[in-house]
Amino acid sequence: MKNKLFILFMVLVLSLGVTACNNSKKVSNVEGKHNIVATTTMIADLVSIIGGDNVSVQRLMGPGIDPHLYKASAGDVSLMHNADIVIYNGLHLEGKMGEIFENLNSEDKLVIEIASGIKEEDLIISENETHDPHIWFNVLIWKDAAKVVRDGLINFDKENEVTYNENYEAYIKELDELHEYVQSRIDELPESKRILITAHDAFEYFGKTYGLQVKGLQGISTASEAGTGDVSALADFIVEHKISAIFIESSVPKKNVEALQEAVSARGFEVEIGGELYSDSLGSTGTDAETYIGTVKSNVNTIVDALK
């Protein structure tokens, strides 16, 4: 009887242990690799490319997660504390995590802010005098982000400097090709059709770089709600300019864009939902948009094909 009770007790303990492991995030201590935590999917992709076989990268936020509203769990904090390097976007994209990054810095943890390497003149200032954090939508700026990652890795691991430089140079060529591809696709649109309307104001860098007028139903941060006045004004704008398509976003609920579509219809004009854009995260694993380059291509293809 005692043996049976002991066996039942051990099964219960092991079950609880497995559950705890499944519900928490742990650093994958891969032997011989530097363990890096990246906040967003875009940054995780970038670090994996520049770091190559020398790094093991874990991201806090998966596809479809809104970084503006993301709150770090106890598991996230533990993950960052146990990592060799923590890399985040900055410019208040991870708006609810600022204090965590400050604490990590005070503990002499190597914490890298991507935005620290972006020139001030390349940053967009919003109406409320804050910087727009969506820097990855300008492919040329993302080249600067790649340099920040490369320099950070070399600073941490001088022994593999040659590898990091080689990976960086190869990726810069791919980004140059991506920049040319995006511009060539936008050039297919006549000037009158180069108006992009999305769920929130995430595409200003994209518009400024590639020549589109951009309007978002919500502000730069999804923490700000769109009011009925915002919907009404944007509906009037769509009717006035006879815009054929508006777009939902993968990390933002689509109800506001659907409300905008209904408001336009009530004015006697029909506007289509032209497709889903990836704004604050990359696409899911296994899709064409699982990488940064794939995501940018997917977005521009969706936009141009719908607005033509």
Pair (298, 279) in one structural domain: yes
CATH for 152: 3.40.50.1980
pLDDT (tens, 9 = 90+) of the chain, 308 residues, equals: 444 443 433 333 333 343 333 333 444 566 689 999 999 999 999 999 999 999 999 999 999 999 999 999 999 999 999 999 999 999 999 999 999 999 998 888 999 999 999 999 999 998 778 899 999 999 999 999 999 999 999 999 999 999 999 999 999 999 999 999 999 999 999 999 999 999 888 999 999 999 999 999 886 555 556 678 889 999 999 999 999 999 999 988 899 999 999 999 999 999 999 999 999 999 999 999 999 999 999 999 999 999 99
Which pLDDT tens digit goes with each residue over 26-59? 445 666 899 999 999 999 999 999 999 999 999 9
In a domain? residue 67 = yes
In a domain? residue 218 = yes
Pair (88, 209) in one structural domain: no
Domain span at 197: 188-307
Pair (178, 194) in one structural domain: no
Pair (42, 177) in one structural domain: yes
In a domain? residue 78 = yes
Pair (158, 262) in one structural domain: no
In a domain? residue 3 = no
Pair (75, 126) in one structural domain: yes
In a domain? residue 5 = no
Pair (116, 224) in one structural domain: no
Q: What's the pTM value of the predicted model, to 2 decimals? A: 0.87
How many separate domains does the chain show?
A: 2
Task: Determine the pLDDT at residue 20.
Answer: 36
Which of 153, 182, 211 is at the close of a domain? 182
Pair (253, 152) in one structural domain: no
Task: Determine the pLDDT at residue 252.
Answer: 87
Which of 154, 182, 210 is at the close of a domain? 182
Which of 152, 182, 212 is at the close of a domain? 182
Task: Determine the pLDDT at residue 229.
Answer: 87
In a domain? residue 45 = yes
In a domain? residue 108 = yes
Which pLDDT tens digit goes with each residue over 239-269? 999 999 999 999 888 999 999 999 999 999 9
The 3-state secondary structure of the chain, one letter per residue: CHHHHHHHHHHHHHHHHHHHHHCCCCCCCCCCCEEEEECCHHHHHHHHHHHHHHEEEEECCCCCCCCCCCCCCHHHHHHHHHCCEEEECCCCCCCCCHHHHHHHHHCCCEEEEHHHHCCHHHCCECCCCCECCCHHHCHHHHHHHHHHHHHHHHHHCHHHHHHHHHHHHHHHHHHHHHHHHHHHHHCCCCHHHCEEEEEECCCHHHHHHHCCEEEEEECCCCCCCCCHHHHHHHHHHHHHHCCCEEEEECCCCCHHHHHHHHHHHHCCCCCEEEEEECCCCCCCCCCCCCCHHHHHHHHHHHHHHHHC
Pair (144, 204) in one structural domain: no
In a domain? residue 296 = yes
Task: Determine the pLDDT at residue 288.
Answer: 94
Pair (40, 103) in one structural domain: yes
Task: Determine the pLDDT at residue 305.
Answer: 98
Pair (40, 175) in one structural domain: yes
Task: Determine the pLDDT at residue 40.
Answer: 98
Pair (149, 249) in one structural domain: no
